[in-house]
């Protein structure tokens, strides 16, 4: 009796998982931009039609005699009211202890190792949408 009940529940669970809009967890799902299925509870805010651009001259940064350097980054936006802006280092040389100090209208990126760093800006607009920009900074 117990074995047949488990088999029946297994078949029912399999059928429910195949139904459109169901993922077998009892939560409704939504179609993502790439056609993948994700739960509505974990959906990320959509990318914005508004834009955000990191302002950086592109020149190399040189470490001083103490092995340190820094650069100030600002940004420009268009098309929306900014609710939040965050800079982050998404790639850096091995062993680096780089960091970012964020202020109201700019960020200071501090370096301590030669190499290429990738800094990302993520701007969240008042309507909940986001825009991103990245810049590569070479430290010599």
Domain spanning 51-139 has what CATH number? 2.60.40.1230
Place of tokens 């268009």: 78
pTM: 0.65
Cβ count near 76 (within 10 Å): 10
Where in the chain are all domains bearing CATH 2.60.40.1230? Answer: 51-139
Which spans in the chain are helix H?
2-18
CA-based angle 34:40:46, to the nearest 5?
55
Tell me the two tokens of residue 28: 């409704």
- The single residue listed with the structure tokens 């001083």 is 64
pLDDT along the chain (140 residues), means of 10: 45 46 46 45 60 92 97 95 96 95 94 97 96 97
């Amino acid at each position: 009796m117990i074995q047949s009940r488990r088999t029946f529940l297994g078949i029912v669970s399999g059928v429910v998982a195949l139904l459109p809009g169901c993922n077998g967890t009892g939560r409704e799902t939504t179609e993502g931009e790439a056609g993948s299925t994700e739960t509505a509870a974990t959906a990320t805010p959509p990318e914005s039609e508004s834009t955000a651009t990191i302002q950086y001259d592109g020149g190399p940064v040189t470490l001083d005699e103490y092995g340190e350097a820094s650069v100030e980054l600002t940004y420009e936006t268009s098309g929306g009211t900014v609710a939040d802006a965050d800079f982050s280092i998404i790639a850096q040389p091995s062993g680096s202890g780089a960091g970012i100090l964020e202020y109201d209208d700019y960020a200071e990126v501090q370096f301590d190792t030669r190499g290429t760093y990738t800094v990302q800006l993520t701007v969240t607009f008042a309507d909940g949408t986001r825009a991103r920009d990245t810049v590569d900074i070479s430290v010599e």
